[in-house]
A and B are shown apart, each in its own frame.
Chain A
Amino acid sequence: MNVHEYQAKDLMRQFNIAVLKGGVANTPAEAVAVAKKLGGNVWVVKAQIHAGGRGKGGGVKLARSLEEVEKLSGEIIGMQLVTHQTGPEGKKVLKVLIEEGCDIDHEYYCGIVLDRTVGKIAMMVSTEGGMEIEKVAHETPEKIIKCHIDPATGLTPAHGRKLGYALGLKGDTLKKAMAFFEGLYKLYVEKDCSIAEINPLVTTKQGDVLALDGKLNFDDNALFRHPAIEAMRDITEESAQELEAGKYGLSYISLDGNIGCLVNGAGLAMATLDILKLHGGSPANFLDVGGGATKETVQKAFTIILQDKNVKAILVNIFGGIMKCDIIANGVVDAAKELGVSVPLIVRLEGTNVALGKKILAESGLKITPANDLADAAQKAVIASKGGK
């Protein structure tokens, strides 16, 4: 689960991680009130959306007067912000963060993530802050310094020194950086983050070490023990269909093709998209009905697939293991009848009670095209999606 920058910074303050003073605003008037309260004569107006690259897209602006705060907030709130992470349609900005200005001396990168190859948390820093860090990692991997942290020791001062000296810091600034790393590690572990990324981490002319930006991403599997973080969820940032699917235990991702897919198991669902593409087709969605699908979930899955007006054919690919094929077949037939599915329906069933399942489909009176195996199913779905028989 993602949160906004202002929410991430509120959490960081709770862990004594140095961030700039700021406040969130929903209207230009609120923005001015926040700026007044902060004082000073320079403020930064930052669009709050769940995507990076906001500066380049025109979502981060410097204001040198309260009038400018009002004007820029008015421009940014309501704009459709397009960045390299939003897709071409962009995202509508509903809130801005107003922050005090600061005298940046140098920009760095700091990130924490799980390194799955060793099953440990890794903290990384780079002198190449403010840049697209993926590019740095690809072109100059030596400029990224990593520490793997053993869960028994946690982050120790030795890790902090390694990272701080690698950034060329010394004296008081080094000490402040070490405290910063310690706070961020503590936040990451205690709040079950999956990513904590500070880009840029800055040193100021006054010798402070601050998070200028902050991205936190949380492990969905651990949200049950963090109700306060769950409460930060911004559903306007999430796809309505994906949220609806989630309520029924369905995993749904919308794609840009025209073949609706209903599959059990994430691996088989991915493989189904792959084989459709190999046969020249274009899937409209990824949909995993999960291991415990019932008649109701199958029906819900059809409803969600059919909301996509691009869908020209639906492919049902179920490998019934514990779940029996006759139960799935009944679910498909009932859903197709009740919802009046008008697009071609290609069904591939395999596994327990498959003969009975196929019989139910054949005797349903519905125009269902049965498929014998995975390749056959993909071919038939692709032909149907192109208007053929």
Chain B
Amino acid sequence: MAILINRNTRLITIGITGKQGTFHTLQSRDYGTNVVGGVTPGKGGTVHEGIPVFNTTFEAVKETEANAAMIFVPPSAAADAIIECIDSEIPLIICITEGIPAGDMIKVKAALKGSKSRLIGPNCPGVITPGECKIGIMPGHIHMPGNVGVISRSGTLTYEAVYQLTQREIGQSTCVGIGGDPVNGTNFIDCLEMFQNDPDTKAVIMIGEIGGTAETEAARWIKANMTKPVVSFIAGAAAPKGKRMGHAGAIISGEDDSAEAKFKILQECGITVARSPAELGQKVSEVLKK
């Protein structure tokens, strides 16, 4: 058991014939992911690296019964690719693309509401259930199957956390990169709820960043709903305050979104805080022994 993806996942890659799309599709397939097809408009009917290519996502889903899509489409066309996946009723859409205009994502967010799809990302490393299925750009070999769920807004910092766990022979149930963009498909709370309901997850690592209120909202949700231990780190305590033109970004929430403020709320909500990113593995090992 795990969350989001497992042995039964049937993946298609949108933008499969591009350089990145090809490379990471093959890496995922080598890891054991069942890649059933790909989409590149104009290349339908061809076979790429042994994988059938379709002109539209709709056609690909109909022919392959795919239940997950991984998007490697340039930022100017990525929102359109996500909307095509929503329209094709794919249950899980994972968008790796970095640099999608926020205005496009606002429309995507509206299209997701009431749809049959869940979006992970954009601007994320993807999702991996170690030993079963990898969808994304993370290095598969640093992971090991186990019982710790990982949720993060960052890429390489997630690898760092996973690596610390694996070094201690603490495996992971599923690792989810929710992405660093201001508007994304799935937030911390969505993932926490899935991990809370997953019998194979015993503890969760949540890696946040300065800015926004996602971590503080998650902290309050954990306090009210979660029985499993959560370990958390917030990156950016030493980051300089940006030279901002306006104040509108900070006043919208009315809340302090510095690392200090977030650490404080996390602690108040009973979450185990790692002040140093080098302590994540050790802190998880401690909560698992309790």
Contact = CB atoms under 8 A, between A and B. Distances in A.
Given A116-B182, A120-B106, A215-B245, A253 B240 contact: yes
B118 interface: no
Interface string A196-226: 1100000000000000000101010110110
B209 A270 contact: yes
A57 to B, nearest CB: 15
Greatest chain B CB density within 10 A among A189, A255, A321 is at A321
Interface stretch (B1-9, B45-53, B153-161): B153-161
A375 B157 contact: no
Interface in A67-124: 85-87, 111-117, 119-122, 124
Contacts of A113: 246, 248-249, 252
A166 interface: no
A283 interface: yes
A265 interface: yes
Contacts of B145: none
B242 to A, nearest CB: 9
B103 A112 contact: no
A218 B210 CA distance: 21
A137 B254 contact: yes
A309 interface: no
Interface string A264-289: 11111011011111100001001000
B103 A373 contact: no
A119 B247 contact: no
Contacts of A133: 247-248, 251
A158 interface: no
A42 B17 CA distance: 64
B101 A151 contact: no
A25 interface: no
Greatest chain B CB density within 10 A among A271, A278, A374 is at A271
B85 to A, nearest CB: 18
Given A222-B103, A224-B76, A267 B142 contact: no
B157 A134 contact: no
A121 B141 contact: no
B109 A119 contact: yes
Interface string B59-79: 000000000000000011000
Given A117-B212, A266-B180, A374-B278, A219 B103 contact: yes
Interface string A242-266: 0000000000010100000001111
B236 interface: yes
Contacts of B158: 267
Describe A's contact surface by its main secondary structure: mixed
B103 A192 contact: yes
B245 A268 contact: no
Nearest to A188: B103
B237 interface: yes
B160 A268 contact: yes
A202 B241 CA distance: 30
A264 B61 CA distance: 36
A278 B141 CA distance: 30
A267 B153 contact: yes
Contact of B156 (A50, A120, A264): A264
A242 B136 CA distance: 30
A286 B245 CA distance: 21
A256 to B, nearest CB: 9
B183 interface: yes
A168 to B, nearest CB: 21
B142 to A, nearest CB: 7
Interface residues of B, number: 65
A40 interface: no
Nearest to A123: B248
A257 to B, nearest CB: 9
B289 interface: no
A144 B251 contact: yes
Contacts of A87: 243
Interface in A315-358: 319-322, 350-352
B261 interface: no
A116 B211 CA distance: 10
A117 B213 contact: yes
A322 B139 contact: yes
Interface string B127-166: 0000000000111011000000000111111111001000
Contacts of A320: 139
Contacts of B183: 114, 116, 119
27 contacts: A51-B245, A85-B244, A111-B247, A111-B251, A116-B183, A119-B183, A124-B251, A134-B247, A152-B110, A192-B103, A194-B249, A197-B246, A221-B101, A222-B101, A224-B76, A265-B155, A268-B154, A268-B155, A268-B157, A270-B235, A271-B235, A274-B235, A286-B239, A321-B159, A322-B24, A351-B159, A374-B278
Interface of B: 23-24, 27, 75-76, 99-107, 109-110, 137-139, 141-142, 152-160, 163, 180, 182-183, 207, 209-210, 212-214, 217, 233, 235-240, 243-254, 259, 275-278
Interface of A: 2, 50-52, 85-87, 111-117, 119-122, 124, 132-134, 136-138, 141, 144, 146, 150-152, 189, 192, 194-197, 215, 217, 219, 221-222, 224-225, 253, 255, 263-268, 270-271, 273-278, 283, 286, 291, 319-322, 350-352, 373-375, 378
